[in-house]
Amino acid sequence: MARSRISTAFDEGLSLPEGDILVLRPPAAMDLYALPGDRLRIHHTFRPDRDAWASAGLRVVEEPGAAAVALVCVPRSKALARGLIAEAAKAAPLVIVDGQRTEGVDALWREVRARRNDEVEGLTQGHGRLFWFRGGAGFEEWALPGPQQAEGGLWTQPGVFSADGADRGSMMLAEVLPASLPKRMADFGAGVGVLSLAALAREGVQSIDLIEAEKLALDCARLNVTDPRARFVWEDVTSGARGPYDGIVMNPPFHTGRTPEPRLGVAFLQAAAKALTPQGRLWVVANRHLPYEATLEGLFRQVEEIGGDAGFKLLQAAQPLKAKGAAPRAVAPTRARRGR
Question: Predicted confidence band at 6 (pLDDT cuts at 50, 70, 90)?
Answer: very high
For the cut 70, the answer to whether the pLDDT of residue 328 exceeds it is: no
Last residue of a domain, one of 92, 114, 142: 142
For the cut 70, the answer to whether the pLDDT of residue 210 exceeds it is: yes
CATH of the domain at 158: 3.40.50.150
**CA separation for the pair 50, 221 (Å, rounded):** 20
Last residue of a domain, one of 142, 173, 194: 142
Q: For position 117, what pLDDT does the model report? A: 87
**In this prediction, what percent of the chain has a pLDDT beyond 90?**
82
**CA separation for the pair 46, 168 (Å, rounded):** 24
**CA separation for the pair 290, 246 (Å, rounded):** 25
Clarify whether residues 116 and 163 are in a common domain. Answer: no
Clarify whether residues 97 and 162 are in a common domain. Answer: no
Say how many domains are in the chain. Answer: 2
For the cut 90, the answer to whether the pLDDT of residue 133 exceeds it is: yes
Q: For position 19, what pLDDT does the model report? A: 97
**CA separation for the pair 223, 94 (Å, rounded):** 35
Q: For position 161, what pLDDT does the model report? A: 85
Clarify whether residues 81 and 202 are in a common domain. Answer: no
Clarify whether residues 127 and 156 are in a common domain. Answer: no
For the cut 60, the answer to whether the pLDDT of residue 256 exceeds it is: no
Clarify whether residues 85 and 182 are in a common domain. Answer: no
Clarify whether residues 113 and 165 are in a common domain. Answer: no
Clarify whether residues 88 and 33 are in a common domain. Answer: yes
State pLDDT tens for residues 86-96: 999 999 999 99
For the cut 80, the answer to whether the pLDDT of residue 324 exceeds it is: no
Rounded to a whole number, what is the largest CA-CA distance in the chain?
70
Clarify whether residues 107 and 235 are in a common domain. Answer: no
Clarify whether residues 301 and 190 are in a common domain. Answer: yes
Range 295-317 average pLDDT: 95
Question: Residue 40: beta bridge partners?
Answer: 21
Q: For position 337, what pLDDT does the model report? A: 29
For the cut 90, the answer to whether the pLDDT of residue 15 exceeds it is: yes
Strand ranges inside 189-327, DSSP E: 207-212, 230-234, 245-250, 255-256, 259-260, 276-287, 300-308, 312-320
Range 2-20 average pLDDT: 91
Domain span holding position 22: 5-142
Lowest average pLDDT, out of 191-205, 227-241, 255-269, 323-337, goes to: 323-337
Question: Predicted confidence band at 258 (pLDDT cuts at 50, 70, 90)?
Answer: low
Clarify whether residues 212 and 299 are in a common domain. Answer: yes
Q: Which residue in 162, 155, 146 sits closest to 197, CA to CA?
A: 155
Q: For position 152, what pLDDT does the model report? A: 83
Instruction: Calculate Rg over the CA atoms of the chain.
Output: 22
Clarify whether residues 47 and 22 are in a common domain. Answer: yes
Helix (H, G, I), strand (E, B), or coil: what is residue 284? strand
pTM of the predicted protein model: 0.89
Clarify whether residues 332 and 202 are in a common domain. Answer: yes
Range 64-79 average pLDDT: 96
Question: Predicted confidence band at 326 (pLDDT cuts at 50, 70, 90)?
Answer: very low
Last residue of a domain, one of 109, 142, 175: 142
